[in-house]
Amino acid sequence: MSKIRTAFFCQSCGYESAKWNGKCPSCGQWNTFVEERVQKDTPAKQEWKTNDNPLARTQKIISLSEVQTIAEKRLLTPDNELNRVLGGGIVAGSLVLVGGEPGIGKSTLFLQNALQLKDVKTLYISGEESEQQIKMRADRIRASNEQFYLLTETSTQTIFQEIKKLQPQLVIVDSIQTLQSPFIESAPGSVSQIRETTAELQRFAKESNTPVFLIGHITKDGSIAGPKVLEHMVDTVLQFEGDQHYAYRILRTIKNRFGSTAELGIYEMTGTGLRQVTNPSEILISQRDDLLSGVAISATMEGMRPLLVEVQALVTQSVYGTPQRTATGFDLRRLQLLLAVLEKRGGFHFGVKDVFLNIAGGIRVEDPAIDLAVLCALLSSYEDNALPNKVCFAGEVGLSGEIRAVNRIEQRIAEAEKLGFDKIFISRYNKKGIDFSKFNIEVIAVGRVEEVYQQLF
Ligand code: TYD
Ligand code: MG
């Protein structure tokens, strides 16, 4: 008997070390090292990989020109949001990881999609829920499908035997943290197990050309081996996120070998499953009749999609020596920068004010074009003067108070027009080469913060 070798693995990034460390030298996380057994490939495993595995084959070197181009066929699901996030449907043989906090709706999303794919033989492997629980969920979302097969199993060896019998066209694994390979002795959910089971599924996906979806949990404190460990092993990484207090869920692409990573899908969690939100701008802007100070609408882009969001600011007299700055859904340092610009270029005294900023709907905006709306919301609250109704903004603010051009301005203007806005403020530098006469909305081009202020107050 050979001696059992163990090693310590960082449960956050998968870094391997011979000794225990308090802080991971790779990802910098504290207290994430756990001792796991390390195994070399046993003869049994080697044999399984080559002989037993029906899908294994030997490879030889070929020239790229010999490789035949096959027209990429994508499987379109009835869910347009998912199709878009995947870059235009499911690619054959792709391995897709879907991460998200527990309870966000990952199982619901994929069960719902699988049930709607009526002519695709789908295998749903669940290591978390029993057949009854899944049936109950299916009843709740009121869907059924003859071509939907269920397997509650966690051992990859059994799973591959069943797959060989059933020959599914799509495989969904819920969740990767529950799977166990018989060749690794560590507990399910440990770094070595997650790596091994994913590698086995990856091999299966590539060799059988079957798309595989892996659902993975990420916890806020990262105590379970995070799907971070697998990000480089899979083709596409999607993240399902949302605020527990809102019904809206966002499906985001983090990595995609077959499409853009700038895509986004929006869903609403209802009593009967997830509903696609096809016109997100309407839900993100609160409908109200009376004008309030501190509110400005921004025409932002999320990926290729225009999205109108509401920025809310509250500027009050500070009671403590150090004024507070709080931002939800917006970068705090960016807020401080905009306040500094207003202080220096506009002569406003934000230094003695508490400033709170919120992006409505619980979403997070990274698009720099939101700057102008943030600035106007701040000014509106500072002056306690509501902005006119039906006005929106799209522009980045520079350090010297200039309004900078942003990308895809025509799409932003078109979206604002579609939603019934009368005026949109954009950067003067965005005017070049664009014919604004085709829009049925007044486009106001501004160059500096002062000009915006004069136009509005
Ligand atoms: P679930 O898909 O189990 O989350 P995950 O797999 O990411 O852990 O979703 C769980 C939550 O969704 C749960 O709190 C109940 C809620 N839910 C609804 O609100 N409506 C529904 O139709 C379903 C099926 C779930
Ligand atoms: Mg689940």
pLDDT of residue 253: 87
215 CA closest ligand 1 atom index: 6
Ligand nearest to C-alpha 249: 1
pLDDT by residue for the chain (457 residues), tens only, comes to 556 778 888 877 778 888 998 998 888 888 888 888 776 555 555 555 544 555 555 678 888 888 877 767 789 999 999 999 998 899 999 999 998 888 889 999 999 999 999 889 999 999 989 999 999 999 998 878 889 999 999 999 999 999 999 999 999 999 888 999 988 888 888 888 888 899 999 999 999 999 999 998 876 554 444 556 788 889 999 988 877 777 788 898 888 998 887 778 889 888 898 999 887 777 777 766 678 899 999 999 887 778 899 999 999 999 888 899 999 999 999 999 999 999 998 889 999 999 999 998 778 888 999 999 999 999 999 999 999 988 999 999 999 999 999 999 998 998 898 888 999 999 999 988 788 888 899 999 999 999 999 999 8
Measured in angstroms, how far is the CA atom of residue 102 from the centroid of ligand 2? 7
Rounded to the nearest angstrom, the distance between the alpha carbon of 132 and the centre of ligand 1 is 15
Nearest CA to ligand 1 atom 25: 273
Distance in angstroms (rounded) separating the CA atoms of residues 402 and 17: 51
Ligand approaching nearest to the C-alpha of 108? 1
CA of 150 to the centre of ligand 2 (A): 14
Side-chain-side CA neighbours of residue 100 (13 Å): 26
Ligand 1, residue 111: give the atom nearest the CA: 2
Residue 204 CA, ligand 2 centroid: distance in Å: 23
Q: How many CA atoms lie within 13 A of 344 on its CB side?
A: 11
> Who contacts 282 (Cβ-Cβ below 8 Å, separation ≥6)?
419
Nearest CA to 428 out of 454, 402, 407, 408 is that of 402
Per-residue model confidence (pLDDT) at position 223? 41
**Pairing state of beta strands 403-404 and 325-328?**
unpaired
Ligand 1 site residues, Cβ closer than 6 angstroms:
100, 102-108, 137, 140-141, 269, 271-273
Ligand 1 atom at shortest distance from the alpha carbon of 112: 24
What pLDDT is recorded for position 57? 55
Element (H, E) at 124: strand 122-126
- Structure tokens that stand for 292 in this block: 């309030």
Buried b (16+ CB within 10 A) or exposed e, 60-79: eeeeeeeeeeeeeebbebeb
DSSP category for residue 238:
E
Counting atoms of ligand 1 from 1, which one is nearest the CA of 109?
A: 2
What is the C-alpha R_g of the chain?
26
At residue 222, the pLDDT reads 44
The three-state secondary structure class of 28 is coil
Please report the pLDDT score of residue 2 as a whole number: 59
Q: Hey, what amino acid is at 95?
A: L
Q: Which fold is adopted by the domain 283-456?
A: Ribosomal Protein S5; domain 2 (3.30.230)
Q: Is 452 helix (H, G, I), strand (E, B) or coil?
A: helix
Question: What is the spatial distance between Cα 440 and Cα 179, in angstroms, rounded to a whole number?
Answer: 56
User: Side chain identity at 410, as an amino acid letter?
Assistant: E
For residue 446, list its beta bridge partners.
427
Centre of ligand 1 to C-alpha 108, Å, is 6
Token readout for 100 is 């998200």
Supply 2's token pair. 């050979």
Q: Could you tell me the distance, in angstroms and rounded to a whole number, from the CA of residue 113 to the centre of ligand 1?
A: 14
Backbone torsions φ then ψ of 75, nearest 5 degrees: -90, 120
Distance CA 286, CA 309 (A): 9
- In 3D space, the residue among 123, 125, 124, 116 whose CA is nearest the CA of residue 83 turns out to be 116
Given a contact cutoff of 8 angstroms between Cβ atoms, the answer to whether 452 and 372 are in contact is yes
* Token reading at 267: 């869903």
Domain residues of the chain, as ranges?
4-39, 74-278, 283-456
**166's tokens:** 């059933």
Residues 6+ apart with CB under 8 A from 169: 75, 120, 121, 122, 210
The answer to whether residues 342 and 348 touch, using CB atoms and an 8 Å cutoff, is: yes
Which one-letter amino acid corresponds to residue 101?
E
Three-state SS for 268-327 is: EEECCEEEECCCHHHHHCCCCCCCCCCEEEEEEEECCEEEEEEEEEEEEECCCCCCCEEE
Query: Hey, what amino acid is at 344?
Result: K
Could you tell me the distance, in angstroms and rounded to a whole number, from the CA of residue 104 to the centre of ligand 1? 6
Q: Which ligand is nearest to the CA of 102?
A: 1
Q: Which two tokens stand for residue 135?
A: 């049936």
- By CB atoms closer than 10 A (0-12, 13-18, 19+), residue 435 is exposed
Q: 380: cis peptide before it, omega within 30°? A: no
Among 400, 399, 330, 398, CA closest to 370: 330
CB 8 within 8 A of CB 18: yes
Q: Are 414 and 311 in contact (CB under 8 A)?
A: no
Q: Which residues pair with 313 in a beta bridge?
A: 357
| Cα(112)–Cα(115) distance, integer angstroms | 5
pLDDT at 220: 59
Separation CA 52–CA 376 (nearest Å) = 66
Would you state the structure tokens that stand for residue 84, as one six-digit string?
Answer: 């878009």
At the top level of CATH, the class of 74-278 is alpha beta
**CB of 295 closer than 8 Å to CB of 312:** yes
pLDDT of residue 383: 93
Annotated binding residues, written as ranges, equal 100-107
Residue nearest to atom 8 of ligand 1 (CA): 103
Q: What is the pLDDT of residue 44?
A: 54
Feature table: binding site for ATP: 100-107
Residue whose CB lies within 8 A of the most ligand 1 atoms, among 269, 272, 274, 275, for a mutation test: 269
Please name which ligand lies nearest the alpha carbon of 110: 1
